[in-house]
Amino acid sequence: MNQPVDLLILSNGPGEVTTWVRPVVECLAQQLGEERSRVRISLVLSPCTHATGKEGAIARSYPQIDRVQDAPHFWNFLLWGKTAENWDWHKRGLVLFLGGDQAFAVLLGKRLGYPIITYVEWEARWLNHVQRVGVMNEKAIAKAPPKYRTKLTIVGDLMTDVGQFTPPQNPEEEWIGLLPGSKAMKLAQGVPFCCALVEYIHQQRPQTRFVIPVAPTLDIDTLAQFANPDYNPILSRMGNVGATLIHPDGEERPYLLTPQGVKILLWPDFPAYDILTQCRICFTTIGANTAQLAALGVPMIVGMSTQQLDAMRAWDGLPGLLANLPLFGKGFALLINWVMMQYTLKTKRLYAWPNLWAKREIVPELVGALTPEQIGKLMIDYLEHPERLEAMKGELAQVRGEGGAAQQLSQLVISQL
């Protein structure tokens, strides 16, 4: 690699930036060694309905990435080839797709004259235009036309690489992890629900400690607002328990304090593997966090509350567009979510990643007008029967697969460079 080259990574949402981009750029920097100085890594974010607007800031915190362009500038770059900061490009380079629409990677590769590598979980597209594809498993290869299958290489699941982090647990402490989400529509329900949940559990297990790993796209003050009844109008419908944000003096971490005096530790460090692996069990919403918990081997209960049906507006495609229309969006959101809830209840559709991998429910998924008492009783039952938690850990270990996907994908990229 005598000449400088550009590696353009295309990604989009918070899950992809944290669970795909981060491990890949870390492995790339490690494997390139001294050659790293010749490879300029740029990240371009494309629009995403699940985005929080902080994906660019998160990516800029990764020392391996040299340049980052935020999603609002994407279309100008795609259509006219101009970045917001008027980036220059080396003659040689590569486009790596790590989230979004695979067609965007093809168009950008053609515009820059770079070969294209995509990473896909389920279905590889535009195979006549890409040079190599890293896929999660054999199923993606089976879906590809036979004449293109030589382009596909199984690298594994990028989200399982977090399972390589396994610090020792402290058996003397009983921690419960709470993952209420990272976006306002989930936090409005999840934060007050978790406050009511910890008070219920604390009454029966006062020794239990609670922690919320704060998502990297979220700041502590914003999260705490959703525990304030003056700010969050649906708090009364989610257990009617608020909390006050406490910033202690010294090095102690901030926490939420409920009316009964229960502390919920706020953990802003990212990634929060060290505290999550200390948790006996977690309560979480659906999303990439279920894959991370599974990769860490942490038992979980997954809840999808329906107390506010118009809250969920992050559907992909046409449903997402309708749910976010001015004036009429709330009505469409109510209808779409009601239909989805009925479909889920009727078909017992699975949402948590470990259940999707196993094609059966190995971690409990609860959908409906959930109550803190309902979830609390289930969590206490698991805590009182540790053999059930161990069984769940064993099943998570079976479905999460082997680690090393980031290393294998990085090797694929370096070989093409």
Domains of the chain (ranges; CATH) run 5-156+403-416 (3.40.50.2000), 164-399 (3.40.50.2000)
Q: What is the pLDDT of residues 353-377, one digit of tens each?
A: 899 888 899 999 998 889 999 999 9
Q: Output 85 or 291, whichever has higher pLDDT.
A: 85
Going by the DSSP 8-state scheme, the letter that residue 393 receives in this structure is H
Give the E-state strand segments of 167-287 in sequence order. 175-179, 209-213, 244-246, 255-257, 263-267, 279-284
pTM equals 0.71
Average pLDDT, the chain: 86
Tokens of 349: 């559709």
Asked if residue 69 lies in contact with residue 85, where contact means CB atoms within 8 angstroms, the answer is: yes
pLDDT band at 339 (very low <50, low <70, confident <90, very high): low
Q: How many CA atoms, within 13 angstroms, populate the side-chain half-sphere of residue 340?
A: 20
**Lowest-pLDDT range of 57-71, 121-135, 214-228, 399-413:** 399-413
Question: Tens of pLDDT along 90-108?
Answer: 999 999 999 989 999 999 9
Query: Which residues does 148 contact at the CB level (< 8 Å), separation at least 6?
Result: 124, 127, 128
Contacts of 152 (CB under 8 A, 6+ apart): 124, 133, 134, 135, 140, 141, 144
Predicted confidence (pLDDT) per residue in 51-96, tens digit? 778 889 889 999 999 999 999 999 999 999 899 999 999 999 999 9
pLDDT of 167 over the 80 cut: no
Which pLDDT does position 373 carry in this prediction? 96
In whole angstroms, what is the distance from residue 156 CA to residue 400 CA? 10
Q: Grade residue 169 by pLDDT with cuts at 50, 70 and 90.
A: low
Query: Residues 49, 70, 42, 55: is their CA dihedral positive or negative?
Result: negative
pLDDT at 309: 47
The string of pLDDT tens digits covering residues 131-163 is 999 998 888 898 989 999 999 999 888 877 654
User: For 120, how many CA atoms within 13 A lie in the half-sphere containing its CB?
Assistant: 25
Nearest by Cα to 44 from 84, 90, 3, 93: 84
In Å, how far are 134, 165, 254, 375 from 170, measured between CA atoms? 38, 15, 22, 25
Among 70, 81, 82, CA closest to 110: 81
Per-residue pLDDT reduced to its tens digit, 302-328: 998 765 544 554 555 554 555 555 655
Beta strand extents in 144-224 (DSSP E only): 152-154, 175-179, 209-213
Q: Are 5 and 94 in contact (CB under 8 A)?
A: yes
